[in-house]
Structure 1
Amino acid sequence: MREYLLVLSVAAVVTFLTTPIARWIAVRWGAMPDVRDRDVHAIPIPRLGGLGVYVGMCAGVFVAHSLPRLQGTFADSSETTAVLIAGGLIGALGALDDRFDLDPLTKLVGQIACAGVLVLLGVQLAFIFIPGTSLGTVSLDPNTSFLLTTLVVVAAVNAMNFIDGLDGLLTGVAIITALGFFVYSYWLGRQGYNDVFSSPALLTAVLAGACLGFLPHNFNPARIFLGDSGSMLIGLVLAAAAISTTSRTDTQSFSTLGTAIPLIMPLLMPFAVLAIPLLDMLLAVIRRTRKGLNPFSTPDKMHLHHRLLEIGHTQRRAVIIMYIWTALLTFVGVGSSIVSWTVVLVVALIMVVVATVLMFTPRIRRRIDGGAPHVPRTAYASNDEGAR
């Protein structure tokens, strides 16, 4: 654990120190587009935050390569290197979008290409285990494996991109999600299903550290945004960690449906810990499609975080509420395999109550005040230079 804490700390410190440089590059390069109608910040804010996150991750991985236990993860697998290469490519794609605002089709093709590189370099779903049936472990042929892996990566990339709408929102969600994946991967190793020192655990540790180092620059009022260079990088790393965890687990360790939970969880966890961004993306696609609009090129102000602002929350409170819901779903996804269901239910119930009370606090206050309307979003957005 000490080695993981070291690489996490290195990634955090390097990201914190290099993010101002990324901001300077963004300003010089012009990667700070004009404020759009759907934005809730009042002035242009530099993007390219993904550059600082990527440099921090690389620094963490570099240190890990020199540590006695973690260096074994590079000898056992090329997955960490594959993620850094594919992550660098998708970060570069995002940087181009941050500067030139690429069209949706170009971005989608680029995302598929980066996912393809990830697969070719060794990160892929080679099998799917279906417990409780006669099928057991289903080996995937190369074409099916490529298509399924690509679908998972592209879905995670776009889900993270969709939720990036408030200062610090995606960064905090990424920290919670990455730590959830890390705890689960580490627990698998402690239980003997995997090695404690593994690529998924290393990747999520350095990602969590990099995002922790970036958050002080990104929390409201933000001085720099992650941009597509950061959101797509985060999505790719998280997807790769989930895929890697699945592919490295020994299916022969499981004989019944009950004992197969650790193998099923890597497939279910992305939906648990990414439930908020995936739900937001799904609702946006349905909403825009019903109106006859292109779901990926017609942005609107109806995302979950926008609705929290409309209720009357400040940006910071809206972000904290989203953090709590993400932490809740992550805890349920991870805790269901690690601790008893009683503990999971009790903690989950407490978090649900806290999140619900926070969500409806503005409406409760308005009723107490006699129905006085809340301050329009445009009013507080104009007074908050970091608002998005």
Structure 2
Amino acid sequence: MPVAWMIGLPAVLVIAALLTWVARQYALRRNLMDQPGERRSHGVATPRGGGIAIVLTLLLATAAAGLAWPGGRVALLVFGVGLVMVAGIGWWDDHRPLPAVRRLLVHLVASVLVAALVWQASGNPVQAVLALLFTVSMINIWNFMDGINGIATTQAILAGLAFAAVMPMPFALAGAVLALACLGFLPFNYPRARIFMGDVGSGALGYAIAALVCLASVVTEVHWLLLLVPLSAFLVDAGFTLLSRMLSGQRWMEPHTQHLYQRAVKGGMSHTSVTGMYFVFGLFSITVFNACSDLQPRWEAAVAVAWLIFATGLWLLLRKGMRN
């Protein structure tokens, strides 16, 4: 490993941790607090907005990558602009709540930037449209699932490591940087939450992970269905919870506590235990992903479908048990 990487990667971890500490001091001074409530899973007022540390760390890493690889500067700039857009609207929403439609419009524009990068790299307009839809979905899924201590951050760490393992250098560094930036934030949020990520962090993290998946889709031969496996815990819980709310006629965009992880906490499990369970499932998911990433495309797709069916069945079983 070059000396620059040996210095740079640990620096990502340290910078993220320091910036999280600064973000906490800012939130305390501004009284930027998440209050307990019926639609929340925490019981004490807690500072929010700590995810800005992850965002700033990723932006610094993006700038450093642009200096190291001049040929990728345009793509890195486009990604950085999209990240700033998603984080910026989240930061605004953390300070002064915004209408959902306004946030969604910004998410769409940022997702178009990712789609444009995919189109430029692949020459495939269908793949670009799928990238757009996927990115919009991931921004909101990570926001929905960021409801208890450590759950969104640990799943992002696992995803970053999983994709880093299958991508060639220097692209693999994107996954490693994402994982390290999240790891720097994690001690402030898990097992005891001294600060929450906030919309500035959760939406931006979803955007960054979507961009990472899209990058993997153009620099590797891994089937796009298999690329979903490391994200299956969140995709299944968020997707089927949203579907059930829509089918029952509920206002699905409103805050709620109906996700499986929220039901588990409401049922008496600790944040630590629930996050741990999702982490263990995530470990199995990335193990399946990495073990099967060198198969023929049809077998990769078959494994992915089988895993997603298994995850759905497990979700239905656990949800039924908690309802009873």
- Write out the 4+ residue segments of structure 1 that deviate beyond 6 Å after TM superposition: none
CA pair 181-316 structure 1, distance change in 2 beyond 3 A: same
Contact 2:41 2:266 in 1 (8 A): no
Q: Deviations over 1:171-219 (max 9, x none)?
A: 111111111111111xxx3xxxxxx223xx2322221111010001111
CA pair 5-61 structure 1, distance change in 2 beyond 3 A: farther
Q: Which residue in 1 is equivalent to 2:124?
A: 140
Q: Distance in 2 between matches of 1:125 and 1:37?
A: 44
Q: How does 1:57-136 map to 2 (within 5 A)?
A: 57-64=58-65, 71-72=68-69, 74-76=70-72, 78-119=74-115, 122-125=116-119
The Cα of 1:86 is off from its aligned counterpart by: 1.2
Q: Distance in 1 between matches of 2:194 and 2:242?
A: 30
Q: Deviations over 1:271-311 (max 9, x none)?
A: 211111111111221221122112112x3222121232245
Q: Deviations over 1:342-374 (max 9, x none)?
A: xxx9xxxxxx9xxx9xx99xx9xxxxxxxxxxx
Q: Which residue in 1 is equivalent to 2:221?
A: 263
The Cα of 1:245 is off from its aligned counterpart by: 2.6
CA pair 9-127 structure 1, distance change in 2 beyond 3 A: closer
Instruction: Give 5+ residue unaligned stretches, structure 2.
Output: 304-309
- Residue identity over aligned pairs, in percent, reads 25
Q: Which has the higher helix share?
A: 2
Q: Which residue in 2 is equivalent to 1:197?
A: 170
1:221 equivalent to 2:182? Answer no
Q: Deviations over 1:122-167 (max 9, x none)?
A: 5224587xxxxxxxxxx534xx565332211111111211211111
Look up the SS of the partner of 1:294 in the other structure.
coil
The Cα of 1:60 is off from its aligned counterpart by: 3.2
Letter in 2 for 1:53: I
Contact 1:26 1:46 in 2 (8 A): yes
Letter in 2 for 1:162: F
Q: Which residue in 1 is equivalent to 2:306?
A: none
CA pair 41-111 structure 1, distance change in 2 beyond 3 A: same
The Cα of 1:113 is off from its aligned counterpart by: 1.7
Q: Which residue in 1 is equivalent to 2:233?
A: 276
CA pair 320-5 structure 1, distance change in 2 beyond 3 A: farther
RMSD: 2.9
Q: Which residue in 2 is equivalent to 1:313?
A: 269
The Cα of 1:4 is off from its aligned counterpart by: 4.4
Letter in 2 for 1:148: L
Q: Distance in 1 between matches of 2:6 and 2:236?
A: 32
Q: Which residue in 1 is equivalent to 2:208?
A: 237
Q: TM-score, normalised on structure 2?
A: 0.83
Q: Which residue in 1 is equivalent to 2:162?
A: 180
1:333 paired residue among 289, 301, 305: 289
Q: Which residue in 1 is equivalent to 2:307?
A: none
Q: Which residue in 1 is equivalent to 2:259?
A: 303
Contact 1:284 1:295 in 2 (8 A): no
Contact 1:273 1:333 in 2 (8 A): yes
Instruction: Give 5+ residue unaligned stretches, structure 1.
Output: 129-138, 190-195, 250-261, 346-351, 364-388
CA pair 114-285 structure 1, distance change in 2 beyond 3 A: same
Q: TM-score, normalised on structure 1?
A: 0.70
Q: Distance in 1 between matches of 2:128 and 2:93?
A: 26
Letter in 2 for 1:221: R
CA pair 79-127 structure 1, distance change in 2 beyond 3 A: closer
Letter in 2 for 1:23: R
